[in-house]
Chains A and B, each alone.
Chain A
Amino acid sequence: MEETNPFAIAELVDNPEQRCPVVLVLDTSRSMQGKAIDELNAGIRQFADDLKADSLASLRVEVAIVTFGGNAQAIDVRQGHGAAIAPDPAVAFVPADTFSPPALRADGGTPMGDAVNLGLDLLRGRKAMYKNHGIPYFRPWLFLISDGEPTDQNWSAAADQARLEESLKGVSVFPIGVEKADMGPLAMFSSQRSPAKLTSIGEFQSLFRWLSGSLSAVANSRPGETVTLPNAGWAQIDPS
């Protein structure tokens, strides 16, 4: 039937897929050593697998990882070694289909503010790249996960910046506290939502499953659509 259809010859333009950038800003400080970092790594691996299983999300979702353990750094997500790389939006992000989960190690202090600033910088740079190339994109996500409290001096300035950019609709920030994390500082990083709490490190899998499911929903959404995110069964919303 296709051969006799006079419209089968209509030539399709090869425009780039619309993108949904996400930065995971992850606490890899000393307190995360042991089982916590193992569970976090396992959660990220599952996140990668889930995104790859969704054909559209695997092309549209772009992932970067920033860690804060001792210092804030962008992490290579192409090779899977977990090495630090230059904070360059051109190399820090990969489409989910080529996302190679890094093996993160935990050590050092908790410079949460520096890490959030770096994450915001990367997202801003990535959006500029999309604009220059005419690539449509969704509002970026910044996922902030910590089991402690910030140890850097200027974390509250970074939190102000995050809230400002969020109020200008430049980014959606999702702060997550793990176990005994201090929820007070985490709450300062978003004006849109209270920080969610992981009651145990065993919940990392559920958290990342929720994240991949939510990103799939965004990546599969169509123009004009408000995306309803799945219920976060893993989370306790901090009432404070």
Chain B
Amino acid sequence: MTEIEPGWQVLGASTIGASHLKQALPGQDAFMAAECRGGVLAVAVADGAGSASHAQVGSRLAARRAVSAVFDRMLQPRTGGVYAMLDDAFAQARRELEFEAAATGLDLRDLSTTLTVVIAMPDCLGVAQTGDGLVVALEPDGSLIPLTRPQRGEYANETHFLTNPRGDTPRYIHVGEVAPGFAVLTDGLLPVSADLRTGRPHAPFFQPFFTALKQGPATPELARHLEQFLESPRLRQRVDDDLTLVVAVQPDAV
């Protein structure tokens, strides 16, 4: 196979938190990633609200629709630029949930979910987020920088959702230079992967994932390893929420 465009290697997994297993609740995290035309990579991660009755539906629909919005845009002759694409991904994800609510008779709040979208263009990296996810960029020199800050209220159980009333869905947007890699995670992993005081990502947490993808392709075996890591007792002892981690590396750019 002759590969001309530099490809992305993407690894991701979502696992159900111990607290949810205990209460026999479904996993409420979801992620979706797709390589789109023009070597553009779209990743979406969503964390359904624990208080919403159909959060697991909301998170899956939102993540899927956000990525398909980017995918569709890249098939068009004009993409409108990364800001417009991020906007469109959020608007379509919300519309998907509004449609689901209308079609099933649910309240929009029953589908409450956070949403984080990353679009890696050939010339820039765009990130948008509503809620308490985290996006971390791998810099060319190997260091890590946070691209979002988890949105949290005063209390540990407060954040913002894509499904909040219009005008009450603050969205964090960052568009910056192309990065050789990035990671997206839900808040369940925050306590073990970042300094909660400063918001700085903890490099020794992320390094093994970036290293693995620099050294080889994202095989199904590697994805299993990621899942096993997220389900390992060592991690389960420390965090009891649903956990999602998506890691993407552009090996040629590292």
The answer to the question of A210 belonging to the interface, with a C-beta cut-off of 8 Å to chain B, is: no
Cα distance A78–B49 in the bound complex, in angstroms: 37
Cα distance A16–B190 in the bound complex, in angstroms: 12
Cα distance A218–B242 in the bound complex, in angstroms: 17
Among the listed A9, A16, A56, A169, which residue makes an inter-chain contact with B240, where contact means beta carbons less than 8 Å apart?
Answer: A56
The answer to the question of B159 belonging to the interface, with a C-beta cut-off of 8 Å to chain A, is: yes
In chain A, positions 196-220 with a C-beta closer than 8 Å to chain B are 220
The answer to the question of A41 belonging to the interface, with a C-beta cut-off of 8 Å to chain B, is: no
The answer to the question of B76 belonging to the interface, with a C-beta cut-off of 8 Å to chain A, is: no
Are A223 and B157 in contact, CB atoms less than 8 angstroms apart? yes
* Least Cβ–Cβ distance between B50 and chain A, in angstroms: 3
Dominant SS at the A interface? Answer: loop
Among the listed B19, B51, B194, which residue makes an inter-chain contact with A220, where contact means beta carbons less than 8 Å apart?
Answer: B19
The answer to the question of B174 belonging to the interface, with a C-beta cut-off of 8 Å to chain A, is: no
Interface string of B124-159 (1 = CB under 8 A from A): 000000001000000000000000000010111111
In chain B, positions 76-103 with a C-beta closer than 8 Å to chain A are none
* Least Cβ–Cβ distance between B244 and chain A, in angstroms: 13
Cα distance A225–B207 in the bound complex, in angstroms: 31
Are A224 and B112 in contact, CB atoms less than 8 angstroms apart? yes
Are B226 and A223 in contact, CB atoms less than 8 angstroms apart? no
The answer to the question of B191 belonging to the interface, with a C-beta cut-off of 8 Å to chain A, is: yes
Q: A11-B202, A13-B193, A221-B50 are in contact. Are A137 and B212 (CB under 8 A)?
A: no
Q: A10-B229, A12-B192, A15-B195 are in contact. Are A224 and B212 (CB under 8 A)?
A: no
Are A8 and B229 in contact, CB atoms less than 8 angstroms apart? yes
Are A224 and B197 in contact, CB atoms less than 8 angstroms apart? no
In chain B, positions 170-216 with a C-beta closer than 8 Å to chain A are 187-188, 191-198, 202, 204-209, 211-212
Interface residues of B (CB under 8 A from A): 17, 19, 47, 49-51, 112, 114, 132, 152, 154-159, 161, 187-188, 191-198, 202, 204-209, 211-212, 222, 225-226, 228-229, 232, 234-235, 238, 240-242
Known: A1-B228, A138-B156, A226-B50. 10 other contacts (CB 8 A): A7-B225, A7-B228, A10-B208, A12-B192, A169-B154, A220-B240, A222-B17, A222-B188, A222-B242, A224-B132
A-B contact pairs, 5 of them (CB 8 A): A8-B234, A13-B202, A133-B197, A221-B50, A224-B51
- Sorted nearest first, the 9 A-B pairs with minimum C-beta distance are A134-B197, A225-B50, A11-B204, A226-B51, A136-B156, A7-B229, A224-B49, A12-B192, A18-B156
